[in-house]
Amino acid sequence: MKIFTDVACLTEVSTLDLGIVPAGEVKQYEFYVKNPTKAYLRELKFYTSHNEIAILTAPKDLNPEQSGRLLVEWSPSVTLKEGLKTQLLINGKEIWQ
pLDDT for residue 4: 98
Q: Could you name the CATH architecture of 2-95?
A: Sandwich (2.60)
pLDDT for residue 29: 97
Please provide the DSSP assignment of 33-77 as one string: EE--SSSEEEEEEEE-S-TTEEEEE--S-B-TT-EEEEEEEE--S
pLDDT for residue 81: 81
pLDDT for residue 74: 95
Report, in this order, helix, strand and coil percent for the chain, each rounded to 5: 0, 50, 50
Q: What percent of the chain has pLDDT over 70?
A: 100
Q: What is the pLDDT along the chain (97 residues), one digit of tens a residue?
A: 999 999 999 999 999 999 999 999 999 999 999 999 999 999 999 999 899 999 999 999 999 999 999 999 999 988 888 889 999 999 999 999 8
pLDDT for residue 20: 92
pLDDT for residue 82: 83
Longest dimension (CA), the chain: 48
Asked if residues 67 and 31 have their Cβ atoms less than 8 Å apart, the reply is no
